[in-house]
Structures are given as C-alpha cells and as structure tokens.
C-alpha cells in the first residue's frame, strides 16, 4: 500500500517554489506530521493533494530527511496562498492539502492510539 499521494497527486509544486512553506514549524496553519499526516492524506482524494517534488539530488535529500507532512490549504494566510498560487499553474483553491516529503517505508507505524 502506498502511503500518501506522492506519485498520484493532483498537482505538483517544485521544491524551490515551496520555499515559503519551509520550515513548516513556523507556519501559521494547520500542519499534520507523522501518523496524523498519513491519516489526513489517506482520507483525502489524490486529486485534492498538491505534492512538493524535488528538483535535484539536494532537494530530494532535504525532502526525505523531514517527516511526512500535510498542510491544510484552507488554513494558510492569504499572502502565502497568493505566493504559492503564483508558482503553481493550477488554482490552489482546488486542493485540500499540501504534502511535504513522503513516507520512506511501506510499513505502517503503529501507535498506542490504535489500541
């Protein structure tokens, strides 16, 4: 089972164009990480996910070093939405989530919340 929508996302944003979203810890938006991101992305249709894709070896390494993260598009402030909307060739309003990184293992990480 594929975790998240890295290969079948509804749209892609190049790593360099997503600089305004990084680091995600400083965003004033609803951000899901680790297992919460997996759950949010699993529940979202693939065409409603905008994935950040690497543009080279260094950006690929940077994306794999951070945990799987999902950012709610509706919770982004207007200035940031306009900045990202200018970098994407589709309307940002059609997406629910922005996916940063991807899960590096196909196995599900179990947590105490499941029991």
pLDDT digits (tens, 9 = 90+) for 22-79: 888 889 999 999 889 999 999 999 899 999 999 999 998 988 888 899 999 999 999 9
Structural domains in the chain (count): 1
- Any domain includes 79: yes
- Any domain includes 74: yes
For position 114, what pLDDT does the model report?
Answer: 63
- Any domain includes 5: no
- Any domain includes 112: no
Q: 48, 94 in Cβ contact below 8 A?
A: yes
pLDDT-derived band at 1 (thresholds 50, 70, 90) equals: very low
How many whole angstroms separate alpha carbon 60 and alpha carbon 23?
15
- Any domain includes 34: yes
Residue 33 domain boundaries: 11-104
* pTM for the structure as a whole: 0.82
Q: Quick count: other Cβ atoms within 10 Å of Cβ 18? A: 23
How many whole angstroms separate alpha carbon 36 and alpha carbon 71?
11
- Any domain includes 2: no
Q: What is the mean pLDDT of residues 9-33?
A: 89
pLDDT-derived band at 6 (thresholds 50, 70, 90) equals: low
């Amino acid at each position: 089972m594929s975790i998240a929508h890295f290969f079948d996302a509804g749209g892609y944003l190049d790593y360099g164009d997503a600089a305004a979203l990084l680091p995600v810890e400083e965003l004033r938006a609803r951000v899901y990480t680790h297992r919460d991101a997996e759950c949010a992305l699993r529940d979202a249709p693939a065409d409603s996910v905008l994935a950040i894709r690497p543009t080279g070896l260094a950006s690929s390494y940077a994306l794999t070093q951070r945990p799987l993260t999902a950012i709610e598009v509706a919770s982004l402030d207007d200035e940031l939405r306009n900045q990202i909307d200018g970098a994407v060739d589709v309307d940002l309003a059609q997406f629910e989530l922005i996916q940063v990184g991807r899960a590096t293992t196909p196995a599900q990480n179990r947590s105490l919340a499941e029991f």
